Chains A and B, each alone.
Chain A
Amino acid sequence: QPLLQESGPGLVRPSETLSLTCTVSSDSITSRLYYWGWIRQPPGKGLEWIGTIYHTGTSNYNPSLKNRITISVDTSTNQFSLRLNFVTAADTAVYYCARHTRADADSPFDLWGRGTLVTVSS
């Protein structure tokens, strides 16, 4: 079982909401040791940071996506989630959840989920 695992629909209609959940098995998400983040990668392209959250709910978002994103945390299920509103074909990508190396939003990612492909299409 992967230490971080993304789940959610693989197909989303344009203008609708993309919703993904990351289930964390590596640690208690309430640990003060780490922030948690989402990164995406369009097919054949590079990596784009989406946003980051702490177990308290403190979050940072990519300014280019900020108006459409919500990242939340559920400590009772040891999960954190991503919602991206009003999706278009440009949001088609592999979405990764990942663990920051420390309890700081400006830190790299040392543990990644396997990623899940989300396609935006009618």
Chain B
Amino acid sequence: DIQMTQSPSTLSASVGDRVTITCRASQSISTWLAWYQQKPGKAPKFLIYKASNLESGVPSRFSGSGSGTEFTLTISSLQPDDFATYYCQQYNDYFLTFGQGTKVEIK
């Protein structure tokens, strides 16, 4: 199986900050990577697919980049609604795997 490792596990930031989360795959997954946002007690929300494509309705302050084994999710100016946990997910093969999550908390 392809292991997905996110860093950091927790990130403290303030409203307006630029925030970057990294996701690394244990082998190349081309650009077959998605990002999700999850708030406590809620289902994950689909943000980005194919590493850099924003899902419809997702604010443009979110962006994704990367290919191969290293990927990033960037929030250009953190908003109060963005404090949440973020997960990456690879779909390079049928055994789908997620990163362990990065919690973005208020500094």
The distance in angstroms between the C-alpha atoms of A59 and B56, with both chains bound, is 28
CA A37 – CA B43 in complex, angstroms? 14
Query: Interface residues of B, CB < 8 Å — how many?
Result: 24
Contact status A47-B87, CB under 8 Å: yes
Q: Which residues of B contact A60 (CB under 8 A)?
A: 94-95
* Shortest Cβ distance from B56 into A: residue: A110
- What CA separation (Å) do A12 and B99 show in the bound complex? 28
B14 to chain A, nearest CB (A): 25
B93 within 8 A of A: yes
Binary B-proximity of A88-118 (CB < 8 A = 1, otherwise 0)? 0000000010100100011111111111000
Q: Give complex CA distance A47, B97 in Å.
A: 8
Is A27 at the interface (CB under 8 A from chain B)?
A: no
Pick from B43, B87, B100: contact of A112, CB under 8 Å:
B43
Verify if A15 is at the interface (C-beta below 8 Å from B).
Answer: no
Instruction: Please tell me the number of chain A residues within 8 Å of chain B, measured between CB atoms.
Output: 23
Is A48 interfacial (CB 8 A cutoff)?
Answer: yes
Q: Once bound together, how far apart are the Cα atoms of A118 and B24, in whole Å?
A: 31
Contact A46 B87 (CB under 8 A): yes
Closest CB-CB distance, A34 to chain B, in whole Å?
A: 13
**Do residues A48 and B98 form an inter-chain contact, with CB atoms below 8 A?**
yes
Which residues 30-72 of A sit at the B interface, judged by CB distance below 8 A?
A: 37, 46-49, 52, 60, 62-63
| Cβ-based interface call for B8 (8 A) | no
Say whether B89 contacts A108, CB under 8 Å: yes
The smallest C-beta distance from B36 to any residue of chain A, in angstroms, reads 8
A78 to chain B, nearest CB (A): 19
Binding site for A on B (CB under 8 A): 1, 32, 34, 36, 42-46, 49, 55, 87, 89, 91-101
Q: Considering the complex of A and B, which 5 residue pairs feature the smallest CB-CB distances, nearest first?
A: A108-B34, A112-B43, A49-B96, A47-B98, A110-B46
Q: Which residues of A contact B (CB under 8 A)?
A: 37, 46-49, 52, 60, 62-63, 96, 98, 101, 105-115
Beyond A46-B101, A48-B98, A106-B94, 15 extra complex contacts between A and B, CB < 8 Å? A46-B100, A47-B87, A49-B95, A60-B95, A62-B95, A63-B95, A96-B43, A101-B46, A101-B49, A106-B32, A108-B34, A108-B46, A108-B49, A112-B46, A114-B43
